[in-house]
Amino acid sequence: MCGIVGYTGSRKAAPLLLDSLKRLEYRGYDSAGVAIVDKKLRIHKDKGEIDNLRESMPNIPGVYGIAHTRWATHGQPTKDNAHPFADCKGEIAIIHNGIIENYLELKESLIKKGHKFRSETDTETFVHLLEENYTGDLESTFRKVLPMMKGSFAFAAVHSKEKGKIVVARKESPLVLGIGEGENFAASDISALLKETDRVIALHDNEMAVLTPESVEITTFEGKEVTRRPERIKWTVEDAERGGYEHFMLKEIFEQPQAVHNTLLGKVADFDVNRFGRDAFPSIKIVACGTSYHAALAGKYILEDIAKVPTEAQLASEYRYSTAAFGRPLVLLISQSGETTDTLGAAREARRRGRRSLAITNYVGSSITREADDVIYTRAGLEIGVAASKTFLTQLVSLYLLSIQLGLARRTLSFDESRKMKEELRLMPRAVQGVLDEHKKIQKIAKKYHKARDMFFLGRNVNYPIALEGALKMKEISYIHAEGYPAGELKHGPLALVGEKTPIVAVAIKDHTYEKMLGNIKEVSARSSPVIAIASEGDRDIEKYVDDVLYVPDVPAIFTPIPVTVVLQLLAYYAAKERGCSIDKPRHLAKSVTVE
Amino acid sequence: MKAVILAAGEGSRLWPFTYSKPKVMIPVANKPILEYVVRSLVAKGMDDIIMVVGYKKERIMTHFEDGRDYGARIDYAVQKKQLGTAHALLAASKMVKGDFVVLPGDNVIDPKVVEDLLSADESPCALITESEIPSKYGVVQIRSGKIADIMEKPEEMIGNLISTGIYRMSSDAFTRIRSHSRKGFHDLTSVVRDLSSSDDVLAVHTSGKWIDAVYPWDILRVNETVLRDIGEEKSGKVEKNVTIKGPVLIGEESLLRSGSYIQGPVVIGRGCEIGPGTVIYPSTSIGDNVRVSANSVVEESVIMSDATVGPGSHISHCVIGEGAFLRSRFSSSSSTATMEVEGDFHKVGDIGSFLGEDVFCEDGVVASPGSIVGAKSRVGAMRVLRGTIPDKSLVV
């Protein structure tokens, strides 16, 4: 997973490329580089973040070029392994996002033919292959070489003798084209282009394109012409500025009431699920990765509680190994970016198995929207912080919406019940705001416990996945080792690890799990662990059993994940801030994972 | 030239609407007061803006972000303790050089106000306007076009020209403000007053629109004034047999159910559900995601986002806070009432009730004219609300 950008036009390419690249930094940032054609091909690369590259960058004129920010998969994050790569003659430069699976054999045969490799990467084989097969025209050379590549890729290349031309190709890695006036762009995603243009064409799998300042020609790998009109993108670049907040993550956490509004907009009154009616499928299988998988796990409880459909959650990377299913389940795919390789793979697998699929995603026009039969958009807006916040919350909201409508369509929910549930759902922006208003209190508690080395997060029922998500947030941004556990499992293992140095965060909402949760709390406090309870507003009783309490607005039990999530996000954020962590760009992590 | 907007204060006299947001973020005609200031500045080319924020600053930052949606570039300065307007201005002192404009974020202004200020070619200057109730403000006395004195809230009638709190000054003034601040004077009026004793401070008169909101009932007055100038735009879905007269704005995905009667000027936000059979009379603003259920009547009121008005309710000259939930047959008529705000009594004509955010009323609650209900209060069925009720009260 990496970020790539390309520019061809009449403006100086270097600052434009760096600026766009900076917006892709969330995709990876252990090394970066640019290739610009001036009089000849010039490449500059460096280890570390894009700001490093900017500082060490010499003045390179030239009006077309490509740039890359890397997240290492094959080969260490060093300057040598940074993209772009040039061929032996120094005429062609390429950048790549993805993995070339058969690079070892290709590399061997190229070395035998006398090509000199300068890096350990899989990517470099492609540029030597282009050199070896160069026909005098980059486009036809691409067509010749691409069938030899196995794996996933988004490539962009320039040739110093083919002025103003960028050739790009895509297979299972994201790539979009930006259409300007007398200039054109390519990038891994829309956010890199927003400052320059709002007209965007998404490239599909097995398609390539030739960009010049005046034209964009899209063809399939076989050479069939593709005509596709640009879409107008409503997101503006200001979505990508921090606007007074110290971190994007905090900004995004505070945007959640609005994000939830947008998810609900127009869907509360009517949301068409008739095509998923009563007899269409006996069960649901939710497939996702990472934070989206936690939404999937919560979705299991939500769908079963509200719509009474038997539901199973599964990791996308494991879906292909689980071949037996009850009846023919609806496959529900959740991916924020819509580009997550494992989830896309699962979508294809679902189709092979003849399953109907429904995707929940945030990106209009992303790959998953083409792989799935139907799509629900979360409409959370652009999320820059690597740790998901508003996109997770809006995934939950989408799951509630879906459950209510499914319940109605399958007649497991009466009209009156559904109306009451919708009424509650409509008030969720208030529940989120209610937690945000208490952020100072959460900050105080985070400050108290931020020195912990280990933490446990406990939940039951629908808040068990939320405990998992809380632990994930904590570890990914504050680097505190955190584990989420269903509270009942405590005595089957982790209890051996608790003690006065392991704070326990326990979700103890006033519902039918409350008494049992209190029991679990007593278990850990008996072993002198400090306990932070997340409790329902007005529950004074719990203060007797725990060290600290954070209250959430009193909403019906099934909806408590919404406010509880926000508490856990803020807790992780402020703990990370106290520890001085790089919150928006945690080490070794990137936003959308487009490698397997 | 940069503009510094002072938006750090709480505005406690506007409680309960400042429970979770600063005064400048109170919506009139579905836009926060502060947005009118920003838009008027941008309309006259002043797009380089510094906002001094403090109390509940996140609400401001989340709304305006870096300003690009408003055609501006907005930077934020934080005033940690809200001591006064001059003290607030100091928070931005490192971000301005040379001449700049400073203005309060809690007054609705139109572009003409900015234009008048910019037309003066000298700095420092103070923008003044006429007021019908000068005793609420700093009354200025003028000698040959210059400020001679400013009297804060004079009890006697000494003139009707008041300071708008909008000034143009140069960064040299910061030294002066600092020395004042050390003496314990933190408000801009006393700084300008002091400045006028030694230097010439030009008095610039504006005929533009300048309206401030100090008390809860002012929200209705400001809302009414702003609504006079709204356009007409209808998104959303309008069912059969809905009557719409006059200028009415309806946001996307809002649903107007059959038999409703809307008489503009009225603005309805996004994702609302109105009706069936609901009547909305002029000078009413309804925020986003609001439900006004069957057979309710709303007149000259502000209903903020996420609120729910149950069936058969009557709401006249009221301000209903965000997320308030009125189960059914809520009734609040208007008449003259005496209201108490921070120990002072005010006799206000034609006034309904004021419900803070997330107030929850069971069936058949009656709110007497002039009653104020604190945020997150819960009211039992058939109760009659009178006077001022604190936040998080339980009325049963």
CATH number, residue A351: 3.40.50.10490
Q: For residue B359, is pLDDT > 90? A: yes
Q: For residue A491, is pLDDT > 90? A: no
Q: For residue A591, is pLDDT > 80? A: no
* Pick among B62, B235, B250, B376 to test the A interface (most A CBs inside 10 A): B62
The pLDDT mean for chain B works out to 92
CB contacts, 8 Å: A254 with chain B: 58, 61-62
In chain B, the N- to C-terminal Cα span, in Å, equals: 56
Percentage above 90 pLDDT, chain A:
55
The C-alpha atoms of residue B285 and residue B248 are separated, in whole angstroms, by 10
pLDDT at B190: 84
pLDDT at A74: 66
The mean pLDDT of B269-285, rounded to a whole number, is 95
**Is A112 inside a domain boundary?**
yes
Q: For residue A237, is pLDDT > 50? A: no
Burial A394-404 (b: 16+ CB within 10 A, else e): bbbbbbbbbbb
Q: Which of B181, B214, B247 delimits the end of a domain?
A: B214
Q: Are strands B273-274 and A231-232 parallel, antiparallel or unpaired?
A: unpaired
pLDDT in tens, B171-192: 888 888 888 888 878 888 888 8
Judgement on whether residues B175 and B249 belong to the same structural domain of the protein: no
Judgement on whether residues B40 and B178 belong to the same structural domain of the protein: yes
**Is B220 inside a domain boundary?**
no
Judgement on whether residues A213 and A294 belong to the same structural domain of the protein: no
State yes or no: is A581 an active-site residue.
no
Judgement on whether residues A554 and A449 belong to the same structural domain of the protein: yes
- Residue ranges of the alpha helices (H) in A4-115? 13-22, 50-56, 103-112
Judgement on whether residues A199 and A93 belong to the same structural domain of the protein: yes
The mean pLDDT of A215-231, rounded to a whole number, is 89
In total, how many domains does chain B have? Answer: 2
Count residue pairs from A and B with Cβ separation < 8 A. 85
CB contacts, 8 Å: B391 with chain A: none
The C-alpha atoms of residue A444 and residue B107 are separated, in whole angstroms, by 35
Å between A416 CA and nearest CA of chain B: 15
Judgement on whether residues A136 and A282 belong to the same structural domain of the protein: no
Confidence category of residue A273, pLDDT binned at 50, 70, 90: low
B18 vs A: CB within 8 A: no
B17 vs A: CB within 8 A: no
CB contacts, 8 Å: A423 with chain B: 308
- CB contact under 8 Å between A251 and B67, yes or no, is no
B195 compared with A535, residue with greater pLDDT? A535
pLDDT at A272: 62
Judgement on whether residues A265 and A397 belong to the same structural domain of the protein: yes
Å between B333 CA and nearest CA of chain A: 26
Å between B353 CA and nearest CA of chain A: 22
The C-alpha atoms of residue B387 and residue B353 are separated, in whole angstroms, by 9
Torsion B252-B258-B260-B261 (CA) sign: positive
- CATH number (domain holding residue B205): 3.90.550.10
The C-alpha atoms of residue A196 and residue A203 are separated, in whole angstroms, by 18
Contacts 24+ apart (CB under 8 A), B248-253: B249/B30, B251/B288, B252/A265, B252/A266, B253/A265, B253/A266, B253/A269
pLDDT in tens, B72-90: 889 999 998 888 898 999 9
Confidence category of residue A239, pLDDT binned at 50, 70, 90: very low
Q: For residue A96, is pLDDT > 80? A: yes
ipTM: 0.82
Judgement on whether residues B187 and B284 belong to the same structural domain of the protein: no
* Domain residue limits at A565: 436-596
Å between A488 CA and nearest CA of chain B: 35
A86 compared with B156, residue with greater pLDDT? A86
In total, how many domains does chain A have? Answer: 3
**If we measure between CA atoms, which residue out of B109, B129, B85, B120 comes closest to residue B201?**
B120
Q: For residue A153, is pLDDT > 50? A: yes
The pLDDT mean for chain A works out to 88
- CATH number (domain holding residue B279): 2.160.10.10
3-state secondary structure of A507: strand
B61 vs A: CB within 8 A: yes
CB contacts under 8 A, A 260-289 vs B, are: 261, 264-266, 268-269
Q: Which of A238, A260, A288 delimits the end of a domain?
A: A238
Judgement on whether residues A172 and A311 belong to the same structural domain of the protein: no
pLDDT at A572: 96
A420 vs B: CB within 8 A: no
**Is A317 inside a domain boundary?**
yes
DSSP letter string over A274-288? Answer: GGG-TTT-S-EEEEE
Nearest CB to B58; choose among A241, A242, A254: A254
Judgement on whether residues A56 and A189 belong to the same structural domain of the protein: yes
The C-alpha atoms of residue A552 and residue A560 are separated, in whole angstroms, by 8
Judgement on whether residues B136 and B262 belong to the same structural domain of the protein: no
**Is B340 inside a domain boundary?**
yes
**Is A518 inside a domain boundary?**
yes
Confidence category of residue A39, pLDDT binned at 50, 70, 90: confident
Q: For residue A374, is pLDDT > 60? A: yes
CB contacts, 8 Å: A424 with chain B: none
Contact A211, A166 (CB under 8 A): yes
- CB contact under 8 Å between B58 and A268, yes or no, is no
Judgement on whether residues A414 and A525 belong to the same structural domain of the protein: no
Q: For residue A72, is pLDDT > 80? A: no
* Domain residue limits at B123: 2-214
Judgement on whether residues B190 and B257 belong to the same structural domain of the protein: no
Confidence category of residue A238, pLDDT binned at 50, 70, 90: very low
- CB contact under 8 Å between B271 and A254, yes or no, is no
A241 vs B: CB within 8 A: yes
pLDDT at B76: 93
The C-alpha atoms of residue B69 and residue B322 are separated, in whole angstroms, by 24
Q: For residue A327, is pLDDT > 70? A: yes
